[in-house]
């Protein structure tokens, strides 16, 4: 079962990322790495930041355990959706009214003219957040039904919408292209909602929501207690999920003070870095999270630990090989993906250096994602929040150490070092003894042996690629 759900998520994410790389390829070719691409990435960064903290991360990890525990599932579902959706609509309106302030907040290094340019696109892009919350809400209910395929594949719809926007406006001026991409983001959000509504109807998920609407006045004391526990867990989970997102926000903020194109270098490198992280760590965590939560609720710690252990070794293999492969082949990867049109060979060299620094943190961030799953499944969101705070504070220290000697690449290296801090504290909270029980396993010699064969093979492949290029 773990393999099936993992490959369903992983393959869906792969399809989405393939379209994502086509999108990035076109973006690099048509916009390049310059002030216009920086403006779009700044505008899209804000809803992405909130999406990953509120919707995809904190909400799902708090909602599923609370949904499994409550005896009033329909009413709990309806009331939770209504409160979140209304809040996000109001937040979107506030961002629209004060878009210049939020644009300045995202890119403090921009001058006033660039802030005015960016503010329009910040306002447009932010409305993606309430749309993607609807998607995340339906996705959480589908996960409860052990249905993962729709969410995994539907993420490609955003990329497809942006690809069409780029192709339709490729001969236009760059400002028009950024407008088209911004509205393409909203179209992609609507398409994802439609896909999830079809899946929710086929799995009878909408009935849960509809029944909650019909009995919305029947509020019982135990329901209020369930809601209070959920929102407490959610508030802690926000901070627990925010470390990589706030780090990315800080990266963009600091990069706005550096040379033009620095924000874009971070974006392109981070897109490559996010592929194995999403393909393996996120896909696996999504696949096993509902089952681990159910086992723990039923006090079946033995089966939950076996599932967790198998998940660890699968993830360790995949992340380790991805890290080594990416570091060795980083320049070739960036060149193949992005070097064409307005994206020059110099852009490739800088982006590859940034990618190397990001990849140093792939293993710690990926494994921390898995170990934090245990904390969320056992309703230890408060502990996860404290761990994330330690990691975030360490990130600030690493910024101070690495920004001057390494420039834009130092921002990525600081994030990676903070990932090791995050993993260390997460393992400590999970339990060092339980962690050692996982490590001391018959799979360890196989892991080391495979690694010894893998590295020289990659170096040989690198030579072949260089000869071809």
Q: What is the pLDDT of residue 220?
A: 66
Condensed to tens digits (0 to 9), the pLDDT of residues 431-453 reads 888 888 888 776 666 667 666 66
Q: How confident is the model at residue 195 (pLDDT cuts 50, 70, 90)?
A: very high
130 token code pair: 């309430």
Q: What is the pLDDT of residue 215?
A: 66
Q: How confident is the model at residue 32 (pLDDT cuts 50, 70, 90)?
A: low
Question: Rounded to whole angstroms, how far apart are CA atoms 48 and 91?
Answer: 14
Asked if the model's pLDDT at residue 2 lies above 60, the reply is: no
Q: In angstroms, how far is the first alpha carbon of the chain from the final one?
A: 42
Asked if the model's pLDDT at residue 465 lies above 70, the reply is: no
Q: What is the pLDDT of residue 358?
A: 93
Q: How many CB atoms lie within 10 A of CB 29?
A: 16
262-276 helix and 2-30 helix, angle to the nearest 10 degrees: 160
Report, as an integer, the average pLDDT of 276-293.
77
DSSP 3-state assignment of 72? Answer: coil
Selected residue with higher pLDDT from 331 and 206: 331
Q: How confident is the model at residue 225 (pLDDT cuts 50, 70, 90)?
A: confident
Condensed to tens digits (0 to 9), the pLDDT of residues 310-324 reads 888 888 888 988 898
With vertex at residue 301, the alpha carbon angle to CA 300 and CA 305, rounded to the nearest 5 degrees, is 130
User: DSSP class of residue 34?
Assistant: S
Report, as an integer, the average pLDDT of 264-277.
85
Asked if the model's pLDDT at residue 184 lies above 60, the reply is: yes
* Predicted TM-score (pTM) above 0.85: no
Condensed to tens digits (0 to 9), the pLDDT of residues 59-102 reads 777 787 788 888 878 888 888 888 889 998 998 899 889 888 88
Q: Which of 354, 107, 46 is nearest to 254 (CA)?
A: 107
Question: Rounded to whole angstroms, how far apart are CA atoms 75 and 70?
Answer: 10
Q: How many CB atoms lie within 10 A of CB 251?
A: 25
Mean confidence (pLDDT) of the chain: 80
Question: Rounded to whole angstroms, how far apart are CA atoms 12 and 363?
Answer: 22
Condensed to tens digits (0 to 9), the pLDDT of residues 113-171 reads 778 877 888 888 889 989 988 998 898 888 878 777 788 788 889 889 999 998 898 87
Question: Rounded to whole angstroms, how far apart are CA atoms 368 and 376?
Answer: 12
Q: What is the pLDDT of residue 68?
A: 80
Domain edges within the chain: 2-464
Q: What is the 3-state secondary structure (H, E, C) of 149-169?
A: HHHHHHCHHHHHHHHHHHHHC
Q: What is the pLDDT of residue 252?
A: 72
Q: How confident is the model at residue 359 (pLDDT cuts 50, 70, 90)?
A: very high
CB 102 within 8 A of CB 95: yes
Selected residue with higher pLDDT from 222 and 386: 386
Question: Rounded to whole angstroms, how far apart are CA atoms 165 and 125?
Answer: 14
Condensed to tens digits (0 to 9), the pLDDT of residues 381-424 reads 778 778 888 888 898 899 888 888 888 888 889 989 998 999 99
Q: Which of 133, 30, 143 is nearest to 90 (CA)?
A: 133
Q: What is the pLDDT of residue 355?
A: 92
What is the enclosing helix (H) or strand (E) of 38? helix 35-50
Q: How confident is the model at residue 463 (pLDDT cuts 50, 70, 90)?
A: low
Q: What is the pLDDT of residue 89?
A: 92
Chain Cα centroid distance, residue 186:
18
Asked if the model's pLDDT at residue 460 lies above 70, the reply is: no
Q: What is the pLDDT of residue 425?
A: 92
Q: Which of 258, 249, 218 is nearest to 41 (CA)?
A: 249
Condensed to tens digits (0 to 9), the pLDDT of residues 33-66 reads 666 777 787 777 777 766 666 655 677 777 877 8
**Gyration radius of the chain's alpha carbons:** 22
Q: What is the pLDDT of residue 3?
A: 61
408-430 helix and 221-255 helix, angle to the nearest 10 degrees: 150
What are the helix (H) ranges across 298-380?
A: 301-328, 330-338, 345-359, 362-377
User: DSSP class of residue 340?
Assistant: S
DSSP per position, 176-204 = HHHHHHHHHHHHHHHHHHHHHHHHHHHTT
Name 246's Cβ contacts closer than 8 Å, sequence gap at least 6: 49, 392
CB 281 within 8 A of CB 366: yes
């Amino acid at each position: 079962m773990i393999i099936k759900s993992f490959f369903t998520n992983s393959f869906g994410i792969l399809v989405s990322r393939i379209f994502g790389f086509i999108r990035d390829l076109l973006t690099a070719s048509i916009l390049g790495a310059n002030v216009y691409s920086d403006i779009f990435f700044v505008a899209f960064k804000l809803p992405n930041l909130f999406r990953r903290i509120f919707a995809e991360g904190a909400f799902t990890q708090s909602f599923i355990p609370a949904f499994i525990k409550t005896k009033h599932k329909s009413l709990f579902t309806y009331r939770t959706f209504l409160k979140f959706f209304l809040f996000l609509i109001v937040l979107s309106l506030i961002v629209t009214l004060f878009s210049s302030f939020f644009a300045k907040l995202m890119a403090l290094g921009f001058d006033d003219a660039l802030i005015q340019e960016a503010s329009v696109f910040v306002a447009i892009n932010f409305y993606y957040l309430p749309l993607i919350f609807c998607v995340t809400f339906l996705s959480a209910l589908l996960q409860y039904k052990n249905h993962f395929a729709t969410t995994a594949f539907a993420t490609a719809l955003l990329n497809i919408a942006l690809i069409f926007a780029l192709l339709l406006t490729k001969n236009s001026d760059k400002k028009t292209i950024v407008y088209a991409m911004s509205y393409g983001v909203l179209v992609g959000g609507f398409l994802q909602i439609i896909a999830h509504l079809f899946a929710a109807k086929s799995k009878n998920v909408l009935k849960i929501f509809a029944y909650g609407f019909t009995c919305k006045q029947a509020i019982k004391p135990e329901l209020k207690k369930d809601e209070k526990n959920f929102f407490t867990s959610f508030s802690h989970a926000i901070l627990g999920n925010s470390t990589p997102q706030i780090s990315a926000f800080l990266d963009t903020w600091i990069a706005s003070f550096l040379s033009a194109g620095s924000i874009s270098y971070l974006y392109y490198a981070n897109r490559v870095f996010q592929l194995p992280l999403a393909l393996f760590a996120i896909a696996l965590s999504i696949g096993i999270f509902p089952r681990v939560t159910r086992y723990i609720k039923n006090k079946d710690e033995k089966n939950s630990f076996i599932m967790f252990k198998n998940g660890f070794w699968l993830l360790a293999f995949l992340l380790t090989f991805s890290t080594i492969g990416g570091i060795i082949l980083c320049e070739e990867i960036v060149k193949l993906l992005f070097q064409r049109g307005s994206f020059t060979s110099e852009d490739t060299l800088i982006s590859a250096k940034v990618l190397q620094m990001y990849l140093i943190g792939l293993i710690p961030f990926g494994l921390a994602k898995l170990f934090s799953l245990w904390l969320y499944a056992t309703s230890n969101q408060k502990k996860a929040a404290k761990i994330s705070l330690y990691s975030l504070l360490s990130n600030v220290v690493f910024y101070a150490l690495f920004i001057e000697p390494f420039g834009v690449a130092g921002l990525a290296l600081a994030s990676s070092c903070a990932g090791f801090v995050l993993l260390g504290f997460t393992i400590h909270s999970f339990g060092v003894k339980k962690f050692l029980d996982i490590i001391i396993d018959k799979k360890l010699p196989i892991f080391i042996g495979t690694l010894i064969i893998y590295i020289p093979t990659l170096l040989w492949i690198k030579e072949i690629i260089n000869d071809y290029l």
